[in-house]
Amino acid sequence: MAELTIENVSKRFGGLLAVENLDLTVPQGKILSLIGPNGAGKTTVFNMVTGVYPPTEGAIIFKGHKLNNLRSNRIIAHGIARTFQNIRLFKSMTVGPSGPCSKPAMKSRKKKASAKRRSRFWNLSG
Ligand SMILES: Nc1ncnc2c1ncn2[C@@H]1O[C@H](COP(=O)(O)OP(=O)(O)O)[C@@H](O)[C@H]1O
Ligand SMILES: [Mg+2]
């Protein structure tokens, strides 16, 4: 049974069609790689699967749940995680303070609360 299904997915950035009509299924328990030359659209596919960008067209379905237009935190809750090609760590910071910086722009009160929750989750502060 397919765990992840990408159906006819396209992504357009203005006049640039980065991904065109991609169909892909990842069966349960399989490890697959996405290969292609620079600029082929690999990272854009991962960005769509993890909610960084919504697809312009098509559907992304994981374990029966449509992920299109879900925020990254909701997608993570469904069980999809990722790492990044360029992680750009802060050289002057340890893991504790670096973690809360990983959240994309949020309103500052929300950001503080979120950072506190995450610090507790990682058991890095009191
Ligand atoms: N946020 C963006 N805005 C505009 N163009 C983008 C954006 N992200 C990627 N692209 C373009 O989409 C195409 C595919 O890029 P990318 O997915 O990074 O390719 P790959 O990971 O296979 O090297 C490239 O032409 C890239 O310049
Ligand atoms: Mg890439």
Select from 125, 79, 126, 76 the least CA-distant residue to 104. Answer: 76
Nearest ligand (C-alpha, residue 39): 1
Q: Give ion ligand 2 contacts, CB < 5 A.
A: 42-43
Please check whether the domain covering 2-78 is classified as CATH 3.40.50.300: yes
The protein residue with its alpha carbon nearest to ligand 1, atom 2, reads: 13
State whether the beta carbon of 35 lies less than 6 angstroms from ligand 1: no
Distance of CA 36 to the CA centre of its chain: 19
For 16-64, the pLDDT digits (tens) are 999 999 999 999 999 999 999 999 999 999 999 999 999 999 999 999 9
Distance CA 65, CA 82 (A): 18
In tens, the pLDDT along 55-112 reads 999 999 999 999 998 999 899 999 998 888 777 788 888 888 877 776 655 556 666 6
Identify the sign of the CA torsion 49, 51, 52, 54. positive
pLDDT band at residue 120 using 50, 70 and 90 as cut-offs: low
Question: What atom of ligand 1 comes closest to residue 85's alpha carbon?
Answer: 21
Which residue ranges make up each domain of the chain?
A: 2-78, 89-126
| Six token digits for residue 122 | 């990682």
Edge-to-edge strands, sheet with 57-62: 16-27, 2-13, 57-62, 65-66
